[in-house]
């Protein structure tokens, strides 16, 4: 079905593939595919420059997207709701559940599962991501807050953007961290080698990660982590950058042998606690979680391997 959209003012002067990616909320590579298959084009300029064309004031963008029949999104039946009132809902997101629907993802999502359970979510926010003010990676488990009311969305978005929410994670870093307490301050940007990887780079966005050691195993270290910023993959990238990738995190350099020995098929990273001011009552609110079975099992194996032998 053909849809014609005026070029947004904020995208005038940008490359066409970048503009399409931002307009549809998809990757630049996917946007380029749509342009090359004539599913996205600038009216009156078909084939003139393709994806490298520059969007101009007054241009009309035509979308003629092929309707891909998709199976109904599965529901995350085992996703606990750990806090809920008229304004917010906090879930304990299992691994393998995305925050919201995206191109190429066919598994369950937090937003879709809540809506299918009958939880009312505010309409504020990007379509398909409404109510979401902070996300977790598919491979990261733990607490995630979604807004039910318009009041909550506006206030919680402000609190997250101004770093007023205290987000506490637990992570298992490979190797023996030298310090008991430290801060990693290094800018993070998208890696040129992949649409999905990020890296420490001088041209990236400011990122600050604080950590405290909770337990040492020699070959790995359990740490409590607080973030001042919320960059994509921030904890994973920062720990990899200091030579201590998260155990199980193959994307950022984890030892596959150790991962297999601990039974891990994803990064050992869990969002343990959220502390914030309630958007309506302004009372300090703390929500906590506990380790899921796969992460607890990995710790049990490490503790058994490094337990001191009993005295005779």
Chain segment 235-281, per-residue pLDDT in tens:
999 999 999 999 999 999 999 999 999 999 999 999 999 999 999 99
DSSP 82-132: EEE-SSEEEEEEPTT-BSS--TT--S-BHHHHHHHTT----S-SSTTSTTB
CATH topology classification for 3-63: 3.10.290
**pLDDT tens-digit map of 167-185:** 999 999 999 999 999 999 9
Q: Are 130 and 148 in contact (CB under 8 A)?
A: no
For 95, residues 6+ apart whose C-beta sits below 8 A from its C-beta are 138, 139, 140, 141, 266, 292, 294
pLDDT value at residue 303: 95
Domain 3-63 identical in fold to domain 163-306:
no
pLDDT value at residue 88: 98
pLDDT value at residue 245: 98
Q: Catalytic one among 17, 59, 92, 137?
A: 137
What is the spatial distance between Cα 163 and Cα 275, in angstroms, rounded to a whole number?
A: 11
Q: Could you give the 3-state DSSP secondary structure of residue 155?
A: helix
Which CATH number is associated with domain 163-306?
Answer: 3.30.2350.10
Told to judge if 212 belongs to the known catalytic residues of this protein, a careful annotator would answer no
CA 126 → CA 71, 73, 109, 299, distances in Å? Answer: 23, 19, 15, 39
196 DSSP 8-state letter = S
Domain borders along the chain are 3-63, 70-78+98-159, 163-306
């Amino acid at each position: 079905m053909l849809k014609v959209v005026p070029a947004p003012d904020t995208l005038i002067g940008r490359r066409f593939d970048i503009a399409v990616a931002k307009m549809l909320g998809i990757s630049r590579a996917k946007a380029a595919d749509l342009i090359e298959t004539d599913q996205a084009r600038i009216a009156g300029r078909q084939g003139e420059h393709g994806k490298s064309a520059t969007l101009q004031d007054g241009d009309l963008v035509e979308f003629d997207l092929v309707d891909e029949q998709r199976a109904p999104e599965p529901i995350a039946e085992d996703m606990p709701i750990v806090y809920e009132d008229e304004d917010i809902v906090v879930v304990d997101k299992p691994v393998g559940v995305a925050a919201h629907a995206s191109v190429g993802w066919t598994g369950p999502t937090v937003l879709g599962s809540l809506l299918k359970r009958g939880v009312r979510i505010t309409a504020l926010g990007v379509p398909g991501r409404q109510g979401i003010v902070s996300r977790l990676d598919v491979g990261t488990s733990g607490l995630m807050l979604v807004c039910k009311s318009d009041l909550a969305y506006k206030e919680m978005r402000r609190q997250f953007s101004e770093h007023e929410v205290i987000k506490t994670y637990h992570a298992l870093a490979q190797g023996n961290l030298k310090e008991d307490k430290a801060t990693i301050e290094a800018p993070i940007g998208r890696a040129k080698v992949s649409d999905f990887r990020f890296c420490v780079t001088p041209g990236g966005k400011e990122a600050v990660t604080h950590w405290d050691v909770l337990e040492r195993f020699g070959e790995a270290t359990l740490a409590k982590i607080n973030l001042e910023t919320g960059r994509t993959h921030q904890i994973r990238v920062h720990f990899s950058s200091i030579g201590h990738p998260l155990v199980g995190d193959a994307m950022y350099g984890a030892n596959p042998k150790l991962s297999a020995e601990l039974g891990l098929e994803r990064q050992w990273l869990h969002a343990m606690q959220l502390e914030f001011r309630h958007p309506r009552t302004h009372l300090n609110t703390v929500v906590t979680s506990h380790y899921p079975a796969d992460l607890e099992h990995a710790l049990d194996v490490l503790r058994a391997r490094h337990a001191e032998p009993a005295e005779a």
